[in-house]
Structure 1
Amino acid sequence: MAMRSLAKRPGGFVAGFLAVFFGAAMVMAFGSLLDTAGEPGVPDTSVETLETMAFVVGGYGLALVIFAVVSTMSLTVRQRGREMALLKSVGATPGQVRRLIVGETLLLALAAVALAIPAAMPLGRLLFAALRETNQIDGGIEYVFGPAAVSMGVANGMIAALVGALLTARRATRMRAVEAMVDAAGAGDAGPLMGRWRWIGALLGLAATATAAVITLTVMDGEGTDVMMSAGPGVVGAAITVALLSPVLLRMTTLLLGWVVRLLAGVSGQLAVSNVRRRTGELARAVMPVTLFTAVTAGTLSMQRVENAQLKAEGAAVLEDSQTMETMNYVVVGIIAAFCCIMLVNTLVAATAFRRREFGQQRLAGATPGQVLRMVGAEAVLVAGAGVFFGLLASLTALVPFSHARAGVWFPSDGVVWGIHGAVVGFAVLVTLVASVGTARRMIRRSSAVEAVLAA
């Protein structure tokens, strides 16, 4: 059944496939630095640099990859709630449904990680070239892509996909057939806004973020460029913490800004606010990549700007010695930011395309295509608003301690720092609107209202 399900409707698995593919490719790229470091004749200083990049910086990316893959795979499986309900109604046992979901996920993940290998090779070579061109490693070292890279990428992709499938399968098998049909139809989010394990993860992330901030302000205060060693993990921890809290944060945003959306968008705004309140848990999945992208990109780039300004004030010699770290920060941030952006588009397209039947029902009830698109746009504004606002707060939890420990001021006076925040916010909002409204427009143009209802 798993094979037939994948072959019958491959489009329904695109989001999960892309999540595993891009995640595995990024992890393999960093893992290839370990293969390179393990070659005979590599100087000890170069080995240390390569291993640091693979374990420390790659570890930040690994955390984001696991989080993003689990979230996307959960969304992919949940969107098949109607199918799961029908299987249970004809006699399928919870164990059979669970094995079906896990089997499909493993097949999907195997294909994704296999195709990620050739994609990871040039990406890893790009990282290696950046290290060599900035003189962080010996110029005579040759790049190697080997077993360490492949094993890390395969393990990460398979484990993350499996965890996502098991979590969602557990939810699907615990719901009765009638509840699953209601949930799949979009009549509302079943269960609590946030589960117990999500709260536990958020509390652990909050503790890790607070610890990083305290270490930055105390132990690392006045330690020069080493301050980034504690502030860097802090921004990633804050981003993941806020992303875990996205259902609560989206509900808060809707309560605070719902009246503005209703006032500006009229009937479409009223419907958008109602949808967000009714389906907070589902739409919060789109808030998570917005938050991750905003927090990681704005926080890291802003800290690098503060670092550059401080180094310039300390003298040209110090600035020259730190150029290699700056180059690598930009390369690493670019890769992680690109991955978060891809996951943002991936999640929004998957979530919006799943609502084809809902859009058809609204049009049959008298809504015009323009009203439906305005509704989707208003929902996207709430999603983007929650993501960028709390993403910026997450970035500040790392930027403020870093700025005080590195430059002696709580808030940087450099206008470029805040310009970075503004640019990141604008880009995140634009991508959210284009992905949501663009997908909805394609769904509406592709078929009539009756065809959309019958096909879904």
Structure 2
Amino acid sequence: MTALALRSLRKRAGAFTASFLALFLGATILMGFASMLDTASGTSGSAHETLVTMASVVGGWGLLLVVFAVTSTLTLSVRQRSAEMALLKSIGATPAQLTRMITGEAAGLAVVAALLAIGPAVLAGRGLLALLHDTGQVPADVSHAFGPIAVSMGVGITFVSAVGAALLTARRLARGRIADTLADTGTGRLTKKRIAFAGLFFAVAMSEVVVTVTVMKDEGSGAMATSGQADIFAALGLALLAPAIVRRVAAVLAGPLRRFGGAAGDLAVTGMLRRTNSMAAAVTPVILFTGIAVGTLYLQSTDNAAAAASGIAKTPEEKNIETLNFVVIGMVVLFTAIMLVNTLVAATAHRRREFGQTRLVGATPRQVMHTVAVESTVQTVIGVACGSVASLFTIVPFSLVRVDSPVPEGEVWTYVAVVALAAVLTGATVATATRRTLRTPAIEAVSA
């Protein structure tokens, strides 16, 4: 099965593109921030503290996002191979053999992606250090170091994340009956493990809220240390519950869409109810992007307003925190935006056969495009709504301790800009991927 896994990687390179990109970008981010620890080994005093903070705080947040994104992308990739799994089982492959094949593919992909990410990670690390030089937080004579800490963390975490995600999904598919595997459309049912992890993330988020409004009440900007992480954990919790949320929303919208949406609305409802897990995978990066971007932006604007009202100039430590916040925003915007595009392209390309069947029974390409547009709109609305809820875990407690109000300081256009960017990324990506998929003649798409 190991040989089969290697041949699969060589012959089906296009099918592994989405997973490879997630692993590559994840390894780049992990090693880029971890290199701050290598750099810190030759420093002392405030410079050492700043570098360690950058690696541990921002890198820690990045670690959560990277592991989650890698797991989500690989899980989607494996689920899309249900027909292949059923065929292999029908000719005698055992569950253990199938599991070894899929985990072997993931392991090989992770190693290649991590090694290729070393070069970009060095550049990313130098860019982070240059940012700290420009803001005066680290002396200009401190040079960037990229050593064993960065490499071991990047390769190790990427490898473990990939193999773990592949193992969990592969075992579920491999142990199912052939008929069940072929019919695996993802109806949105949540496993006990998924619910447990979602509950754990929400519990951590609530604990951060409680600590912020109690222990950190009189700490000023220091309250960012706890409130700034709450939206991340809340967003991850909601992302884990996304399949159930998508199914519930689709059920609620089924009547109106079928009544007023015509053929496209009916097709969209049918697709959303049958492909709940795939839709949830596309919703996940929208939740993360909206929740973390909105939460962090309003966190910083509220802190700036509180500092201006007090008339006291910001300390170097507070400027350090502000820099970290903007680094987080930049990292989140870039990584989640790429993951959003990556996931949507992979999910849409996999629907080539579905689109072909729909056209053969009478649907026009325009109706297919309208159907996908309806689905994309619903995905965006769900993702933005859930992300907005997640951002409240950061915004409300921090605003209470800084400006004595649950309403944050800042312009409403900040929120509008985040929502607009999420909508544009989702809509443009889905439309482009669908048009490209529809170029294939229906007969060829069905027989592929």
Same fold at TM > 0.5: yes
Q: Which residue of 2 aligns with 1:424?
A: 418
Matching residue within 25, 29, 33 for 2:32? 29
Q: In 2, are the aligned partners of 1:392 and 1:421 still within 8 Å (CA)?
A: no
Give the deviation of 1:282 after TM superposition.
Answer: 2.2
Give the deviation of 1:311 after TM superposition.
Answer: 1.1
The one-letter code sitting in structure 1 at the alignment partner of 2:280 is A
Provide the C-alpha distance between the structure 2 equivalents of 1:105 and 1:364, rounded to a whole number of angstroms. Answer: 36
Q: Does residue 436 of structure 2 align to residue 442 of structure 1?
A: yes
Q: Which residue of 2 aligns with 1:92?
A: 93
Q: Which residue of 1 aligns with 2:213?
A: 217
SS in structure 2 of the partner of residue 360 of structure 1: helix
Root-mean-square deviation over aligned CA pairs: 1.5
Q: In 2, are the aligned partners of 1:247 and 1:280 still within 8 Å (CA)?
A: yes
Q: Is the deviation greater in 87-96 or in 274-283?
A: 274-283
SS in structure 1 of the partner of residue 117 of structure 2: helix
Provide the C-alpha distance between the structure 1 equivalents of 2:408 and 2:328, rounded to a whole number of angstroms. Answer: 23
Q: Does residue 74 of structure 2 align to residue 73 of structure 1?
A: yes
Q: In 2, are the aligned partners of 1:271 and 1:375 still within 8 Å (CA)?
A: yes
SS in structure 1 of the partner of residue 67 of structure 2: helix
Give the deviation of 1:95 after TM superposition.
Answer: 0.9
Query: Any residues of structure 2 matched to 1:26-175 within 5 Å, and which?
Result: 26-39=29-42, 42-175=43-176
Q: Which residue of 1 aligns with 2:19?
A: 16
What are the Cα deviations for residues 166-222 of structure 1, in whole angstroms up to 9, with x where unaligned?
A: 011111112111221222xxxx326x6111110000110111111111111111112
Q: Mind listing any 5+ residue stretches in structure 2 that lack a counterpart?
A: none
The one-letter code sitting in structure 2 at the alignment partner of 1:378 is V
Q: Does residue 364 of structure 2 align to residue 364 of structure 1?
A: no
What are the Cα deviations for residues 116-140 of structure 1, in whole angstroms up to 9, with x where unaligned?
A: 1001111111111111111112222
What are the Cα deviations for residues 313-342 of structure 1, in whole angstroms up to 9, with x where unaligned?
A: 122523776334323321232012211111
Q: Which residue of 1 aligns with 2:294?
A: 298
Provide the C-alpha distance between the structure 2 equivalents of 1:97 and 1:228, rounded to a whole number of angstroms. Answer: 46
Q: Does residue 173 of structure 2 align to residue 177 of structure 1?
A: no
The one-letter code sitting in structure 2 at the alignment partner of 1:360 is G
Q: Does residue 267 of structure 2 align to residue 275 of structure 1?
A: no
Q: In 2, are the aligned partners of 1:28 and 1:152 still within 8 Å (CA)?
A: yes
Q: What fraction of aligned residue pairs are identical, expressed as a percent?
A: 46
Give the deviation of 1:20 after TM superposition.
Answer: 0.4
Question: Relative to structure 1, is the Cα distance of residues 168 and 45 closer, same or farther in structure 2, using a 3 angstrom cutoff?
Answer: same
SS in structure 2 of the partner of residue 322 of structure 1: helix
Question: Relative to structure 1, is the Cα distance of residues 227 and 378 closer, same or farther in structure 2, using a 3 angstrom cutoff?
Answer: same
What are the Cα deviations for residues 58-80 of structure 1, in whole angstroms up to 9, with x where unaligned?
A: 10110111011011011111111
Q: In 2, are the aligned partners of 1:384 and 1:428 still within 8 Å (CA)?
A: yes
Give the deviation of 1:423 after TM superposition.
Answer: 1.1
Q: Which residue of 2 aligns with 1:289?
A: 285
Provide the C-alpha distance between the structure 1 equivalents of 2:90 and 2:9, rounded to a whole number of angstroms. Answer: 22
What are the Cα deviations for residues 271-292 of structure 1, in whole angstroms up to 9, with x where unaligned?
A: 1012111221221111111101
Matching residue within 326, 330, 342 for 1:330? 326
Query: Any residues of structure 2 matched to 1:371-390 within 5 Å, and which?
Result: 371-390=367-386
Q: Does residue 205 of structure 2 align to residue 201 of structure 1?
A: no
Provide the C-alpha distance between the structure 2 equivalents of 1:428 and 1:349, rounded to a whole number of angstroms. Answer: 15
SS in structure 2 of the partner of residue 410 of structure 1: coil
Give the deviation of 1:259 after TM superposition.
Answer: 4.0
SS in structure 2 of the partner of residue 141 of structure 1: coil
Q: In 2, are the aligned partners of 1:43 and 1:138 still within 8 Å (CA)?
A: no
The one-letter code sitting in structure 1 at the alignment partner of 2:87 is L
Matching residue within 2, 5, 8 for 1:2? 5
Provide the C-alpha distance between the structure 1 equivalents of 2:342 and 2:127, rounded to a whole number of angstroms. Answer: 24
Provide the C-alpha distance between the structure 2 equivalents of 1:260 and 1:328, rounded to a whole number of angstroms. Answer: 45
Q: In 2, are the aligned partners of 1:131 and 1:328 still within 8 Å (CA)?
A: no
Provide the C-alpha distance between the structure 2 equivalents of 1:120 and 1:154, rounded to a whole number of angstroms. Answer: 12
Matching residue within 304, 311, 319 for 2:307? 311
Question: Relative to structure 1, is the Cα distance of residues 181 and 256 closer, same or farther in structure 2, using a 3 angstrom cutoff?
Answer: closer
Question: Relative to structure 1, is the Cα distance of residues 314 and 258 closer, same or farther in structure 2, using a 3 angstrom cutoff?
Answer: farther
Q: In 1, are the aligned partners of 2:298 and 2:408 still within 8 Å (CA)?
A: no
The one-letter code sitting in structure 1 at the alignment partner of 2:161 is A
Give the deviation of 1:16 after TM superposition.
Answer: 0.5
Provide the C-alpha distance between the structure 2 equivalents of 1:116 and 1:288, rounded to a whole number of angstroms. Answer: 24
Provide the C-alpha distance between the structure 1 equivalents of 2:317 and 2:240, rounded to a whole number of angstroms. Answer: 38
Provide the C-alpha distance between the structure 1 equivalents of 2:151 and 2:437, rounded to a whole number of angstroms. Answer: 38
The one-letter code sitting in structure 1 at the alignment partner of 2:103 is V
Q: In 1, are the aligned partners of 2:301 and 2:409 still within 8 Å (CA)?
A: no
Q: In 2, are the aligned partners of 1:24 and 1:153 still within 8 Å (CA)?
A: yes
Q: Does residue 341 of structure 2 align to residue 348 of structure 1?
A: no
Q: Is the deviation greater in 109-118 or in 269-278?
A: 269-278
Give the deviation of 1:421 after TM superposition.
Answer: 1.5
Question: Relative to structure 1, is the Cα distance of residues 171 and 283 closer, same or farther in structure 2, using a 3 angstrom cutoff?
Answer: same
The one-letter code sitting in structure 1 at the alignment partner of 2:435 is R
Q: In 2, are the aligned partners of 1:312 and 1:319 still within 8 Å (CA)?
A: no
Q: In 1, are the aligned partners of 2:75 and 2:166 still within 8 Å (CA)?
A: yes
Q: In 1, are the aligned partners of 2:35 and 2:150 still within 8 Å (CA)?
A: yes
Give the deviation of 1:265 after TM superposition.
Answer: 3.0
The one-letter code sitting in structure 2 at the alignment partner of 1:34 is L
TM-score after normalising by structure 1: 0.95
Q: Is the deviation greater in 206-215 or in 244-253?
A: 244-253
What are the Cα deviations for residues 354-400 of structure 1, in whole angstroms up to 9, with x where unaligned?
A: 00000000000000000001101111111111111011011012101
Q: In 1, are the aligned partners of 2:305 and 2:409 still within 8 Å (CA)?
A: no
